Amino acid sequence: MKLLLTSAGVKNASIHEALLGLLGKPIAEATALCIPTGMYGSPWVKPAGVWEFVAGRSGQPMTELGWKSMGVLELTALPSIDRDHWVSWVEQADVLLASGGDALFMAH
């Protein structure tokens, strides 16, 4: 597993190059899953902020980078979905894009 942690998305050329290096292919050939779950636990995030992240309008460039495909995976829904169904989504994705939020909420 390779991780790239940023504090505000892919905001500059060096972060963009690091992402390409980890991917090993152009973004246009890569698939991504957007995970907004952590945002819900933050006292500063409003529902519109979650939508802005998913829609690529948040000011934290991640979902709008030109991915081949972009899906949304909501972690709080996983207990109600057959594990075999969603595990394949994660395994097939080249990238998991998670926005920040509340770490204690995510740990719970």
Distance CA 95, CA 14 (A): 18
41-99 residue pLDDT tens: 888 889 899 999 999 999 899 999 999 999 999 999 999 999 999 999 999 999 999 98
- Bridge partner list, 33: 71, 96
53-63 residue pLDDT tens: 999 999 899 99
Distance CA 100, CA 42 (A): 9
